[in-house]
Structure 1
Amino acid sequence: MKIRHIPYQAAIIITIGVYLYYLIYRVRYTINPESLILSLGFFYAEAHGFLALSLFFFQIWQPAERKAPPSNPGLSVDVYIPTYNEDISILRKTALGCVNMRYPHTTYILDDGNRPELAKEAAKWGCKYITRKERKDAKAGNLNNALRCTDGDYVAIFDADFVPQPNFLDKTIGYFRDPKVAFVQTPHNYYNIDSFQFRINKKKEQSWNEQDIFYRLMMPCKDYWNAAFFAGSAAVFRKQALEDIGGMVTGNITEDINTTILLYSRGWKGIYHNEVLSNGLAAKDLKNYHTQLLRWAEGNIGLLFVNNPLFVRGLTIPQRICFFSVIFGWLIGFPKFIYFILPPVMILSGGYPIGSFDFSFVWRYVMFLGVILFGFKFACRGYGKIRYDESYLMMNFFIFIKAALKNMLRQKSIFKVTGKGMQTSTTMLEIIPQTFLCLICFAGIAWGGLKLWYGISSDYLGIGVAIFWSFVNGFLAMSGIELVTRPYFKRKEFRFIGTIPVQFAVMSNVGSASSVGISRDLNENGISLITFIHLPIDTKILLSLYLNEKIVTCRATVLYTAHSGNPYRHLQGKMFIHGLKFEGLSREEMDVISMYCFNTILPRFLQRYGKKASVFIRIMFKFYNHERFRKHVRKKITIPVIIYRNGKPLFPVVSNDVSASGLSFTTYTPMELGAILNMEIFTPFGKFFAEGEIKQVREIVAENSYFIGVKFSHLYDRAEDIRVRSVEKDDQASLNRWLKTFPKGKS
């Protein structure tokens, strides 16, 4: 046991202890015989919560910490992409990502849709094509058919929308040095952050996805108990292990976890490599998301009746607990519905679930609730976001109940493919449960207020608490409805958020103008470009996109233009945002842009918006690095910079931050510490030239992204220099004055 895990484990023990004390107090002193149904229902929800939290805490007791071993050379690897009806443009990205993985392999398209046009495209992509006459056993049957048709010793599996990184196999194949390892699973990550499942805070550079806690915390901790499981995609299998159990398990719509349980029962091992090495598409709308969620819930709850891990021979006790926890977690719909509806029912009916709703109960409840909330958040090591988690449960509790009831009634589950096309609008039918809860909560609030106002009841404490929880639940329902019904961009292809330097030239009847701008977002069809000159709508321009060592040159048309808004109102008329559509790109050039987005922009975004250290650690880091005492404060300003050496331009970059004493930028290649750079720096007020020394070089994304910190050694006075500098003689003072026009910490 490592010392750094002890605080989290202590928090787990204290939280469970307080919860158990509270339940004992509840059952001994607070059951209300006058409202027995409400009282027992509420106690069931709390008891269910205790068991669920205990199982959850058991799973996250301690994460396994793995470092990818060196890859084994010379292994025979097949890569499978199972598909049924996914758009060929989506498949193309996955196929290109698979083909471009560095470790030698053969890529197969497994088409259950039997599409001749896909067979032709697969050959162009460098993939082999496999199909079958019937779709028996859906995805599991498709994979089993491919296992019989191919002869590789190892099999990597990617869903049709999952694009792997070039080093995927290099990072995973080395684990198979252990002859007992059956599979290596990696995290699922989703790149279309405009999906309603995401929350993005650009100011704090934080992101949240409802599956992060599972893939980045729970799965590594399950790995500690040797209970990590195959998640359907982004995994590598030893073919011998699959042959040992007769292939992927069929007869259940969640073939992944069933296959894992059978492998473990035969003595095989699973590995979880906790590093994002591929990226897929999240469901774009509520309908497709609920289709996916219902399939997962039905399949996992179905394990209670078929292949129940509590009774499967060969599993260890921790494995039984971990797999049962997965099943039990999908049964949360019933207690959550009770929590959501009980406060307004309590007000409207006048019945109390608590026998003695007095101060003695209230202080214990407040203590219990505070400890549970803090304990959960702390034990989750930064991945648990209580507000977002509750909002997620509000939108999905009805699906969990539906899945449980279908299993109890033994209705047959049908495998439905999650739609990956254009987003569709949410209908009122899809949000009936949340609308009902919203209405009943606010009806309870209104009636409770009237009862107190007109003296119908004098129970200010009881009704006040019920009104408070009704408001909380009503707010969750309203915010969920607003989230899934808000207007959305009808762009088919997601734009990747990231900055690249872009040189552009505008041709006109009176001559040409050229300059350098930076992207705000990008895909193979277009770009959002920030410039310091105005480009009118319908203007035709020539672009040079700097994509690491490759430069893509193309023409583009300006579709819209806008002044920069808040927080840069002072830059109106000097800084502009343009929407550009590419024209005349070849398919190969579009693929270059697409792969750059997946392999460079996306990993940099994940690094920037990933889990942050605690506030305490960040404060200590600042003091340790003397940031608190810096004379010049770094500001997160993204502007284009051209790097020169020996008087010749090397390449353009985009700054991460700038101060009067230096700047930093990210590049695809490491640079020599102590090297002297000459830089041409573009600003909304003009450009200036500087000489600087590289003081810091740090790898931030393996193999393709390096942070470079530069300290200015000289700022040159030239006619082209920034205009505001001309009012002062001191170079650094002038630059600092310009930097003060930017809000602190904004980018």
Structure 2
Amino acid sequence: MTPRQLTIRLIVLATAILGLNYIIWRWMVSINWEAWWIAIPLVLAETYSLLDSLLFGVTMWRYKQRDTPLPPPAGLTVDVFITTYNEPFDLVMGTARAAKNIAYPHRTWILDDGNRADLRAIAEAEGIGWITRSDDWANRPRHAKAGNLNNALLATDGEFMLILDADQVPDPKILDNTLGYFNNRRMALVQTPQVFVNVPPNDPLGSQAPLFYGPIQQGKDGWNAAFFCGSNAIIRREALMQLGVMRYVSETELALNKALKTADKVVAKAGRQLGPGQERLASALSTLATDLQQVRRELNEGQAIADVTYRFQERVDAVARNLVAEDFAALHAELNSIEGLSRTIDVDGSLAVVDDVALDRLSQRDWSPLGAVETVRVLIDSVNAEKAGEAQAVMPLATISVTEDMATCMRLHSLGWESAYHHERLADGLAPEDLDSMLTQRLRWAQGTMQVMFRENPFMQKGLSLAQRLMYVATMWSYLSGFAAVAYIAAPVIYLILGILPVQSLSNEFFLRLIPFLVINQILFLVVGRGVKTWRGQQYSLALFPTWIKSVTSAFGNVFLGRDLDFRVTPKTLQARSRLPWHLVRPQLIAMAVLALAAVVGVIRLLLGQGDLLGSSVNFVWIAFDLLIFSVVIEAVRYPGYDAWLNSNKKKEGNP
């Protein structure tokens, strides 16, 4: 253990002890129950912040600075993928030309999701490969960037792939400096930092992330949980393909088991409704029940799902032909009328997706024998192993969220694969140049993370170590900060305007417990960062509270309520505007106005002898801190873009 690691661990322990000492006391002693409506939200926000600090401390506990890897062996085959949709040709080709000049032997491909013939002609004229979606993707889910990469995986065969966004210009030695990690046969992924060249030193949009692409990734790396961040990463094809095949098998088996359980219920319920003299119908249902048991036996024997379901469908068709003819069109109309099935019935009459709510409704309806037979046929057909509803049966990169990186990496870790974070700048990217683009990007990142949390909670995933679960949860947890921010804004406003204190009193005990925790927490950031500028990131973690709240609510609506997400690709160039976009930060401006008004009211109440000097002073400082945090949004709205900033800076320095 290095002296630096020992120092970090001692500070982490001190942070945990002081933080728990404070928050336990807050819950046990200091809550003002007469004002529970603000006291409880505030202590919950403080508890959230403590847990956030503890998760950060756990991350830093295994802080890891890797040695330079051994040189890669000769002869590895590498595909360099440059993903693009609608970015300008010159931007895409600038990255592609730099990728072509990477020193280690490789093939360069532009993955053009926009299917632009002109871009293809330019690329191929320069000896650069061009791939777009195959015809199999027509009228099927496209899955954004994940779909683009999955399509390219089946069109190429390199042992490794370097994934680059269209604006990430690689260094010629990016492969030479990273492929050596793959001498470890269990290494699936190597992530390098994302650094942006079009950002002023004051970083008004908070684009650089030196704390994440540094100490945080190095901390996660110590727990074998370094994240895949979507670009500037090298991945082993074998790991991805194993992941894709295993997910395909497990998801198909899960869907089939759900369908079989529902089919059993449908057949049993239809049988109970039969009366005397309906032996022929009872025999048909009995045959169907026996066939369902045979399906289970064949699956337990390890027979192929496609073969088992195909034979079952033939037997179901035979049962149906022996029953009295019915109006199948009316029956299908009834199936389609069930909410949850109407959006999942495919064009050929089969279910495109097995919907749990729809399955439950199917099992509860009263079906005629013929209706039961046809319902079972549709259910089993819904999990056709060929996955007719998708362009590809195997999807190695995760498609469960608007960002493919986190879920894919978590799945790789759950299979026992390893990842590494290589802390060296090996690509130069372009950050959003206006507030609207930045907010679009941050919202998509946050929505993708929350979708993963709701769909594949790390604590529910098999194969992950406890530390890996905590590393994923720590990132997901951070996006809940928007709700805590509301309490932190409201508490000082309520005190200064109404004189209501959310704690029993501002006693010496309160300050002796709170201040040491706040100080040691900041010391942890300073020691971990060691010269890294983290203030801008701390500002935006609070200042973007409306974006974080929207990410949680919209992702929840998408996952549990089936609502669409407002997905937009982040523009890579400055967007034209006729006026300053103050509307984009309206909630923050309202919060600032309310905070300022509360400060004015607090001063007036003090002058009138209605306020407590100590309580008011504490809350004045609190409000000043909040306003300082929120001031970044004013700077962001006024930011003219990098080129304009550069020209303005040159004029100030007297340069032409």
> Under a length normalisation based on structure 1, what TM-score does the superposition of the two structures give?
0.63
Q: Match of 2:12, as an amino acid? A: I
- Please report how far the alpha carbon of residue 165 of structure 1 lies from its aligned counterpart in structure 2 after TM superposition: 0.1
Contact 2:204 2:632 in 1 (8 A): no
**Once the 2 structures are TM-superposed, how far is the Cα of residue 360 of structure 1 from its aligned partner?**
3.3
Q: Which position in structure 2 is the counterpart of 1:306?
A: 455
The residue type paired with residue 75 of structure 2 is: G
CA contact (8 A) 1:376 1:384 kept: no
CA distance in 2, matches of 1:430, 1:276: 32
Q: CA deviation at 1:209?
A: 5.5
User: 1:248 is matched with which residue?
Assistant: 397
Instruction: Report the AA paired with residue 11 of structure 1.
Output: I
Per-residue displacement from partner, 1:577-620 (whole Å, max 9, x unpaired)?
Answer: 22xxxxxxxxxxxxxxxxxxxxxxxxxxxxxxxxxxxxxxxxxx
Identify the match of residue 338 of structure 1 among 473, 477, 487. 487
Structure 1: 5+ residue runs without aligned partners?
200-207, 498-519, 522-527, 529-561, 566-575, 579-747
CA separation of 1:106 and 1:333: change in aligned 2, threshold 3 A: same
Name the CA distance, whole Å, in 2 between partners of 1:217 and 1:321. Answer: 16
Match of 2:638 among 486, 489, 494: 486
Alignment map for 1:59-98 (pairs within 5 Å) = 59-66=59-66, 67-98=68-99
User: Residues 689-729 of structure 1: CA distance to partner in whole angstroms, max 9, x if unpaired?
Assistant: xxxxxxxxxxxxxxxxxxxxxxxxxxxxxxxxxxxxxxxxx
Relative distance call for 1:48 and 1:384 in structure 2 (3 A) is farther
Using the alignment, how far apart are the partners of 1:388 and 1:218 within structure 2? Answer: 16
Contact 2:433 2:641 (C-alpha < 8 Å) held by counterparts: no
Q: For residues 358-391 of structure 1, what are the alpha-carbon distances to aligned partners after superposition, in whole Å with 9 as ceiling and x for unaligned?
A: 3332343333322322233224434363x43332
TM-score relative to the length of structure 2: 0.72
Distance 2:564 2:91 in 1: 30
Contact between 2:104 and 2:176, CA under 8 Å: does it hold in 1? yes
Contact 2:193–2:422 (CA under 8 A) maintained in structure 1: yes
Corresponding residue of 2:175: 169
| Partner residue, 1:590 | none
User: For residues 185 and 327 of structure 1, what CA distance do their matches in structure 2 show?
Assistant: 19
Aligned counterpart, 2:115: 114
How far apart are 1:309 and its partner, in Å?
A: 1.2
2:504 is aligned to 355
For 1:55, give the aligned amino acid. L
Distance 1:381 1:196, change over 3 A: closer
Contact residue 599 and residue 623 of structure 2 kept, 8 A:
yes
Deviation of 1:444 (Å): 0.5
In structure 2, give the amino acid aligned to 1:393: S
Cα displacement string for residues 510-553 of structure 1 (whole angstroms, at most 9, x for unaligned residues): xxxxxxxxxx99xxxxxx7xxxxxxxxxxxxxxxxxxxxxxxxx
User: Match for residue 655 of structure 2?
Assistant: 577
Which deviates more, 97-106 or 370-379?
A: 370-379
Distance 1:52 1:190, change over 3 A: same
| Structure-1 residue corresponding to 2:408 | 259
In 1, the alpha carbon distance for the partners of 2:106 and 2:186 equals 22
How many residues matched? Answer: 493
Alpha carbons of 1:100 and 1:429: their partners in 2 closer, same or farther (altered >3 Å)?
same
Residues 344 and 467, structure 1, Cα contact 8 Å, conserved in 2 = no
Write the distance in 2 (CA, Å) between the matches of 1:222 and 1:107. 30
The percent of aligned pairs where both chains have the same amino acid is 33
Q: State which of 222, 225, 250 in structure 1 corresponds to 2:223.
A: 225
2:221 partner amino acid: D
- Return the letter of the residue paired with 2:507: D
Superposed counterparts of 1:386-465, under 5 Å: 387-409=535-557, 410=560, 411-425=563-577, 426-457=580-611, 459-465=612-618
* 1:146 counterpart letter in structure 2: A
User: What is the CA–CA distance in structure 2 between the aligned matches of 1:485 and 1:416, rounded to whole Å?
Assistant: 20
Which amino acid letter does the alignment assign opposite residue 90 of structure 1?
L
Q: Secondary structure at the match of 1:274?
A: coil
What SS does the corresponding residue of 1:337 show, helix, strand or coil? helix
1:286 CA displacement: 1.3
SS of residue paired to 1:169:
coil
Cα deviation, residue 159, structure 1: 0.5
What is the DSSP-based 3-state SS (H/G/I as helix, E as strand, rest coil) of the residue aligned with 2:121? helix
Q: Aligned letter for 2:505?
A: S
Using the TM superposition, give the Cα deviation of residue 397 of structure 1 relative to its aligned residue in structure 2, in angstroms.
Answer: 1.1
Could you tell me which of 236, 239, 252 is aligned with 1:238? 236
Question: 1 CA distance for matches of 2:231 and 2:639?
Answer: 31
Picking from 319, 323, 337, the partner of 2:468 is: 319
Change beyond 3 A, Cα 1:378–1:174: closer
Letter in 2 for 1:243: M
**CA 1:152–1:389: 2 relative to 1, 3 Å:** closer
Deviations 1:451-472 (A, max 9, x none): 0112233x11112211221122
State whether residues 394 and 480 of structure 1, in contact with CA within 8 Å, keep that contact through their aligned partners in structure 2: no
Correspondence for 1:282:
431
Deviation of 1:315 (Å): 1.0
Match of 1:151 among 154, 157, 168: 157
Q: How does 1:449-598 map to 2 (within 5 A)?
A: 449-457=603-611, 459-477=612-630, 479-486=631-638, 488=640, 491=643, 565=653, 577-578=655-656
Q: Distance in 2 between matches of 1:23 and 1:271?
A: 35
95 and 302 in structure 1: CA distance in 2 versus 1, 3 angstrom threshold:
same
CA distance in 1, matches of 2:447, 2:109: 30
* Secondary structure at 2:460 match in 1: coil
Distance 1:455 1:361 in 2: 24
Q: Whole-Å Cα distance in 2 between the matches of residues 105 and 64 of structure 1?
A: 30
> What SS does the aligned partner of 1:157 have?
strand
Paired residues for 1:714-733 under 5 Å? none
User: CA offset at residue 69 of structure 1?
Assistant: 1.4
- 1:329 paired with 2:478, answer yes
**Structure 1 pair 298/16, CA: closer, same or farther in 2 (3 Å)?**
same
CA displacement 1:649-707 (0-9 Å, x = unmatched): xxxxxxxxxxxxxxxxxxxxxxxxxxxxxxxxxxxxxxxxxxxxxxxxxxxxxxxxxxx
State the alpha-carbon separation in 2 of the partners of residues 35 and 489 from structure 1.
46
Give the helix-richer structure, 1 or 2. 2
* Equivalent residue letter for 2:151: N
- Give yes or no for contact 1:195–1:282 (8 Å, CA) kept in 2: no
User: Which of 1 and 2 has higher RCO (CA within 8 Å, sep 6+)?
Assistant: 2
Amino acid at match of 1:577: N
Shift of 1:336: 1.9
User: Does the CA contact (< 8 Å) of 1:101 and 1:164 recur in 2?
Assistant: yes
Q: Report the counterpart of residue 598 of structure 1 in structure 2.
A: none
State the match for 2:280 in structure 1: none
Deviation at residue 429 of structure 1 after TM alignment: 1.5
- Gapped regions of structure 2 (runs ≥ 5): 245-395
Match of 1:187 in 2: 193
SS of the aligned residue for 1:80 comes to: strand
Q: Is the 8 A contact 2:204 2:635 kept in 1?
A: no
1:39 is displaced (CA, Å) by 0.8
Shift of 1:352: 0.9
Contact 2:447/2:552 (8 A) holds in 1? yes
CA contact (8 A) 1:196 1:284 kept: no
Structure 1 residue 490, shift from structure 2 partner: 7.5
Which residue of structure 2 lines up, in the alignment, with residue 136 of structure 1?
142
| Counterpart contact for 1:288–1:418, Cα < 8 Å | yes
Are the aligned partners of 1:195 and 1:285 in contact in 2 as well (CA < 8 Å)? Answer: no
- Tell me which protein shows more strand as a share of its residues: 1
Q: Distance in 2 between matches of 1:219 and 1:80?
A: 23
Whole-angstrom CA distance in 2 between matches of 1:487 and 1:373: 29
**CA offsets 1:287-315 (integer angstroms, 9 cap, x no match):** 11111111111111122221211111111
Answer yes or no: is the 8 Å Cα contact 1:195–1:284 preserved in 2.
no
Matched to 1:159, the amino acid is D
Q: Specify the SS of the correspondent of 1:194.
A: coil
Distance 1:300 1:112 in 2: 23
Code of the residue aligned with 1:465 in structure 2: it is V
